[in-house]
Structure 1
Amino acid sequence: MTSETPATDVQTGIEPDTKDWTWVLHERCPECGFTAADVDPRAIGGTVRDLTPRWVSALHREDARERPEPATWSTLEYGAHVRDVLRVFDERLRLMLDQDDPPFANWDQDATALEDRYDLQDPAVVADELVDASEVIADRFDAVGDDQWERPGRRSNGSAFTVRTLGQYFLHDVVHHLHDVRA
């Protein structure tokens, strides 16, 4: 969901995600049913904590390494991606809270999946890392002050966010991928 500059994944047969998913800030996602605009930003931290056990459970499935189809990530690969989403968005949130209208470094999710070999990682380790990253970003969202929700930041492709919309957009990614892994 967060792809900005796709990499070609000829090794694994996964087609890079080139969609600009920012539309989820204004429309209900027809795939997972998430409506970002309905999210109370003060609830983001708690929601992340509530969703994390579902990720841990999915990553502990016996078939976590198996792809449902050759061109679809496994639960392990989605879990590693979500772990990294948690980390990337925590950094972006930190920047927005510390700086005025910061630009975000580009993140190519598909290149990261290849370079970090999501498919070969240990699902139990990914689960533990996801729990840790969830706690960090949940705490950071919990600490956002009422006067900070409209602080701006922007992605390398020009997409503008506020702390509120960044959180809503980020939360869609976590929820959507739970839908992808049927957790």
Structure 2
Amino acid sequence: MIAAATAARLRGQHEVLYLLLPGDRPLRERPSPDTWSLLENAAHLAAYQKMFARRVERILAEDEPAFAAYVGDNDPYFLAAREESAADLLVDLSADRLYLYDWITSLGDDPLSRTAVHPKYGRRTLAMWTEFFLLHEAHHLYTMWKLNQ
């Protein structure tokens, strides 16, 4: 079973987006040419969440799958999501998160101990990949919080 603290973060960590997206800054304004806007960060989180769900499927179906590094600019969903409204992104992200939460929290210890390998982060269990997913999301939420100043 997934740790209670992990489950709690998985259930609601993303909801801070409802506070971050309506900020005073224009949602599509980039603070610099090489930095994502608030909306692009949110689109990345929505796309990354979909990619993580595909990785969970592979971890559960394959023996120790190997994952390539995720590059958002090569992800057709991310490229399309950047053009959506904040409201639409929030609806999609929240619906996908509820599904992901129900799925991950329903798994027992055996599925959560299955492993996958990444070129940078090495071999990790599904429980640890879930932690990484949440840490990655938290990084972008913090970035968005800073953009709202």
Is residue 2:18 matched to residue 1:51? no
1:154 to 117, 125, 134: 117
Contact 1:66–1:75 at 8 Å: present in 2 too? yes
2:137 is matched with: 174
1:138 is matched with: 101
| TM-score scaled by length of structure 1 | 0.67
Let me know the Cα RMSD of the aligned residues: 2.6
1:20 is matched with: none
2:87 is matched with: 124
Letter in 2 for 1:155: H
Q: Distance in 2 between matches of 1:67 and 1:108?
A: 19
Calculate percent identity across the aligned residue pairs.
25
Shift in CA distance, 108/168, structure 1 to aligned 2, threshold 3 Å: same
Q: Distance in 2 between matches of 1:56 and 1:104?
A: 31
Contact 2:59–2:65 at 8 Å: present in 1 too? yes
**Runs (5+) with no aligned partner, structure 2:** none
Letter in 2 for 1:76: L
Which protein is richer in helix relative to its size? 2
**Runs (5+) with no aligned partner, structure 1:** 1-39
Letter in 1 for 2:7: G
**Greater Cα shift, 66-75 or 83-92:** 66-75
| TM-score scaled by length of structure 2 | 0.80
Letter in 1 for 2:129: L
Aligned residues between the structures: 144
